[in-house]
Amino acid sequence: MRKLLVAAVCLAVTATGCGATVEPSRKGDAGPAAVTLTNCGRKVTYDTVPERVVTNDVGITELMFALGLEDRMAGFAMPDDKGDLTAVPWKDGYDKVSWLSKDELTKENVLDARADLVLAGWNYGFREDGGFTPDALKKLGVPSYVLTESCRNGRTKTSRGIMPPLDALYTDLTNLGRLFGVERRAAKLITGFRKRIAEVRAQAPADRPTVFLYDSGQDQPFTSGRYAAPDQIISEAGGVNLMHDVRDSWTTVGWESVVERNPDTILICDYGDVSAEQKRKFLLSYAPLRGVAAVKHRRIFVLDYADLVESPRNPSAVERLGALLRTVAGQDAENRADAEGN
């Protein structure tokens, strides 16, 4: 993903499974090591258990860490604008695994690392521009796995998303669990995530606030459609994604649509050269937004980029956003009661 009352919500992330003990690998077991998975609707067979995985970006990298698979990694590529990596449950993983590139992942990175699997996604490393694609890597003898949130759906040449975002997270954890022989570990994570999210969902307000996800862009905002992680993070937290009807993941819309739909809150995706505070100041000063409820009431929240892409941080993001949206709903209920009493 590229082109995230005021609250900065950067509490410590809690997650099941820091310092995981990896289940025994299939390697050396009786019978063939090959595993066939369904990835982006296609059957893909992996002949051996990967031992030198290269990942792209923070969410994908932390999927491996959450499964306790640091020792199966040769390195990761990630810009250094993804927040403080020393305060997350997977700090040990970042300490152990090589940071191969702070720019785009390249064929040279992959070959230099002697990678036997590249774990990335469309717009999360894979791209036609520059020829860094699963097909190009296959020609080099390097298998790939495509992040499910990023699977192309065929509606347009670049549109992405084939299932609800949290289902995509669970699909990838399940598939990686099978590939690396850590199925129990993956199942335990998924069970824990589902339980935490269900507890937040049970507290959802009757009147759900509408939420506009603002990633970046001044001429046109970059935001989340129904297939990017924020859509379901927002809905499970008790809100409604303003752009849920857009059948894409991360995409560009027009400001006219935002103004017309009048969001109750705005959620900023915090990353990159433009800080969350700079984004907030722009939203508050941008003339077309002056009449929008979120701006009038200064309901602009902040979550980190790593919370809002497919990652093991998603359940924590649901919990924190849920607490904020319940506060918004409570304030609105009080305002309505006051208005009726006058």
Domain ranges of the chain: 33-198, 205-341
- Burial code of 49-68, b = ≥16 C-beta within 10 A, e = fewer? bbbebbbbbbbbbbbbbbbb
Over residues 147-186, the pLDDT tens digits come to 999 999 999 989 999 999 999 999 999 999 999 999 999 9
- Are both 33-198 and 205-341 of the same fold? yes
Distance CA 312, CA 14 (A): 10
The winner for highest mean pLDDT among 7-11, 155-159, 185-189 is 185-189
The residue type at 241: N
Q: What is the pLDDT of residue 264?
A: 96
Over 90: is that where the pLDDT of 249 sits?
yes
Q: Which helix (H) or strand (E) holds 171?
A: helix 165-180
Q: Residue 28: is its pLDDT beyond 50?
A: no
Give residue 339's pLDDT.
65
Write the single-letter amino acid at 243. Answer: M
Percentage of the chain exceeding pLDDT 70: 87
CA distance 105 to 90: 21
Extract the runs of DSSP E, i.e. beta strands, from the chain.
Answer: 7-8, 35-39, 42-46, 53-56, 73-77, 99-101, 117-122, 125-126, 144-146, 210-214, 222-224, 240-241, 250-252, 265-270, 300-304
| Whether pLDDT at 3 is above 60 | no
Give the pTM: 0.88
Q: Please state, in angstroms and rounded to a whole number, the distance separating the CA atoms of residues 11 and 13.
A: 6
pLDDT, position 166:
98
Q: Which CATH superfamily is domain 205-341 in?
A: Nitrogenase molybdenum iron protein domain (3.40.50.1980)
Tens digits of residue pLDDT in 288-311: 999 999 999 999 999 999 999 999
Cβ neighbours of residue 261 closer than 8 Å, sequence gap 6 or more: 210, 212, 242
Contact 25, 49 (CB under 8 A): yes
Average pLDDT, stretch 130-151?
A: 97
Question: Regarding predicted confidence, which is higher, 25 or 87?
Answer: 87
What integer pLDDT is reported at residue 161 of this predicted model?
96
Instruction: Give the whole-number percent of the chain exceeding pLDDT 90.
Output: 80
Structure confidence at residue 8 as a pLDDT band (50, 70, 90): very low
With a CB cutoff of 8 Å and minimum separation 6, the contacts of 16 are 188, 189, 192, 193
Mean pLDDT of 26-44: 76
Tell me which fold the domain 33-198 belongs to. Answer: Rossmann fold (3.40.50)
* pLDDT of the residue at 331: 78
Which pair of tokens denotes residue 332?
Answer: 């609105």
Q: Is 322 exposed, middle or buried (0-12, 13-18, 19+ CB in 10 A)?
A: buried
Would you say 267 and 303 are in contact if contact means Cβ atoms under 8 Å apart?
yes
Residue 172 has what pLDDT? Answer: 98
